[in-house]
Copies of this chain bind each other. A is one copy, B any other.
């Protein structure tokens, strides 16, 4: 059983100066410093375990998320972990529906495996914007701590989901039915994950700010490493896009998979025109063609691009389950991209995985950033084992950055995620990394800011 009363919650502003190397650059985010509001939960339990949670940010403004975490802290402090996870739906709603702040059952699973997906029960262990990112960081820490403590009890996962505003497409009964149905074949899928891992694609080769030479070099290396699926950033300049996409398609050949990502650069008609031009390079999908809030816009783009064989992918900036619900209802996407740190932690991601299953849409998570790969591997492996039971049209993003700062970094083998084997949500960072990259007082930033005369 979950143990301990939460005695301490701290939030750190940790930033990595990735903009110095144009890592992570795209058509809308030209100079990101990959950063995180890093939450640590401590309890008075004798086990001494801590929970670690992150949310992902791009540098500036991380202090605002830290401030929001502190504003939410009274909901968590002095609470019993058992009470929190015992009524996790209620606790989720308490965090997301704080009456002042919002102005911003059944046991289905039972198994035995030898890896540690926090969603699999065999292991120990106002819904948008800044406040929702802070909620994600806190809840991610709760899941990490819970997953480390809890034994192999089968858990009532659906009882963690807040069905408010989605009951018109998914009821708790339907959620349980999906989970129950997938008891069949579960052991085989677990074994498959252990031996082969979950298929991944790489975004590391073709950031918008990379030169053609660097792109070629990285692409060559990736091909040698066994990668078969590649994503390229597009949307800033048509001529550049044509040249870069051509270059990559030539290098990887006609059989391997190419995806394109516009990072919200276009209006609806522009997206359709631009992709008509890039269709010759046979992309599987165009990702974030326009505003992440524009459900009907994505639906229009989907309809226009379907005859060209191009799907629409989106989700990394969809701020809650209500937006995902509508994207599915409107047939606005053909690939759904959850994010482990933008939605309200595991609780809300579960509802999205289940809705995607109901609508028959494959989930291909967003990852990269700081720790997103570490977290999302838990969600997508769970999706395969317990929800979708399929790998068709499915893969998880992978970016080769910043894993060295994590205590339990992801393991990639033959372009696949190998299941994590340590207890918890893989969220814990190395102490020395947190210290060094803390903003603005860590060594790295003191030097950088001094060099900028700040």
Residues of chain A having any CB pair with chain B under 8 Å: 28-33, 56-61, 63-65, 67-68, 71, 97-104, 127-133, 163-168, 267-270, 290-291, 293-297, 300, 317, 319-320, 322-323, 325-326, 329-330
Contacts and interface: CB of A to CB of B under 8 A. Distances in A.
Given A128-B319, A297-B326, 15 more contacts: A29-B99, A32-B99, A32-B100, A58-B99, A58-B100, A58-B101, A61-B98, A64-B71, A67-B67, A104-B130, A165-B297, A166-B267, A168-B268, A293-B320, A296-B329
A269 B67 contact: no
Contact of A322 (B130, B294, B300, B326): B294
B67 A326 contact: no
A59 to B, nearest CB: 4
11 contacts: A56-B103, A58-B101, A60-B98, A61-B104, A64-B67, A64-B130, A65-B104, A127-B293, A167-B270, A293-B326, A294-B325
A267 B165 contact: yes
B99 A296 contact: no
Contact of A28 (B99, B270, B290, B291): B99
Contacts of A68: 61, 64, 130
Contacts of A291: 164-165, 322
> Nearest 10 A-B pairs (CB), nearest first?
A129-B129, A130-B130, A60-B100, A59-B100, A168-B268, A67-B67, A165-B291, A293-B322, A58-B103, A61-B101
Given A269-B167, A291-B322, A33 B296 contact: no
B130 A29 contact: no
A322 B264 CA distance: 13
B130 A168 contact: no
Given A129-B132, A165-B297, A267-B168, A64 B61 contact: no
Q: Which of A164, A293, A295 has the most CB of B within 10 A?
A: A293
Contacts of A64: 64, 67-68, 71, 104, 130-131
Contacts of A268: 167-168
A343 to B, nearest CB: 13
A168 B297 contact: yes
